[in-house]
Amino acid sequence: MGYFSIALDGPAGAGKSTVAKKLATKLGYIYVDTGAMYRAMALHFIRNGISAEDSGAIEAACETADVTITHQNGEQVVLLNGENVNGLIRTEEVSQMASISSANKQVRLKMVELQRQLAKQENVVMDGRDIGSYVLPDANVKVFLTASVEVRAKRRYDEQIAKGMECSLAEIEENIRERDYRDSHREFAPLVQAEDAVLMDNSDMTIEENVEKLYEMCMSAQN
C-alpha cells in the first residue's frame, strides 16, 4: 500500500503551517513545510548577492544549493548545504526574495522533485501553494485554506509583535497583497485551488476548530 498524503494549499498567512503541524502530530504523519524550502533557496540567493530579477544568476546558483529536510523532535529542520537555517528564513527580506525567486522554473523543479521524494517515503501533511494542483495530484485529501487579507495581515502582525519585532499593520497587509498577486500570477505552477480541493475559509475559525475539521476529513478519507 502506498503512503497517505494530505495537500494543504493557500495564500500567505492563512495559518497553513500552524494547522498543518498540529494536524500532522494528531495523525502521526510527517509535516512538510514546502515554503521553508523556497525560503532556504532564497537565503542562498541573498547570501550570494543575487538580485531577484536576475534569473540567469538564480538558475546558476541552483547548482550550488543543496536543500534537504530532516526532522528533530517532530520539528522540520531545513538544511542549506548542511547548515540548519530554520532561524534565518523568516525575515521579511527572505519572504520577499522567496516570493520572487520561487517563480523561477529551475527553482521549482528542484524543490518539487524533493517534495515528491518525501511523499514517497512517508505519510505526509504537506503545505504550500501548488501541492494539490501540481506536486501531489493524487493526494488523498486536498484542501485550499484561506482567510481574508485583513485577517491574514492581523495574524502576521500579532505574530511579529509577540516576537518583540516592530512592524506596521498597513505594511504587512500591502506585502501580503503583493505576494498573493505574485504567487497566483506566475506562469509556472501558480497558487491555484485544485479542481478537486475543498475550499476552507478559516477567517472565523480558531486553530483548534480548523485542525478538528481537517482531522475529520482525513479520517473519513482513510476509511
- Residues binding ligand DC (CB under 6 A): 12, 34-35, 38-39, 98-99, 102, 128-130, 179, 183
Which CB atom, from 1 or from 53, has the smaller least distance to ligand DC? 53
Q: What nine digits make up the cell of 110?
A: 528542484
> Considering all CA atoms of the chain, what is the largest pairwise distance in Å, rounded to the nearest integer?
51
Give min distance, CB of 61 to ligand DC, in A.
Answer: 16
Which CB atom, from 98 or from 147, has the smaller least distance to ligand DC? 98
Which CB atom, from 11 or from 217, has the smaller least distance to ligand DC? 11
| Nearest residue to 191 via CA among 89, 102, 101, 59 | 102
DSSP strand pairing (67-72 vs 75-80)? antiparallel
Which CB atom, from 62 or from 128, has the smaller least distance to ligand DC? 128
Calpha distance 101→36 (Å, rounded): 13
Q: Which amino acid is at 122?
A: E
| Nearest residue to 107 via CA among 117, 118, 97 | 97
Give min distance, CB of 191 to ligand DC, in A.
Answer: 7
Give min distance, CB of 114 to ligand DC, in A.
Answer: 11
Give min distance, CB of 194 to ligand DC, in A.
Answer: 13
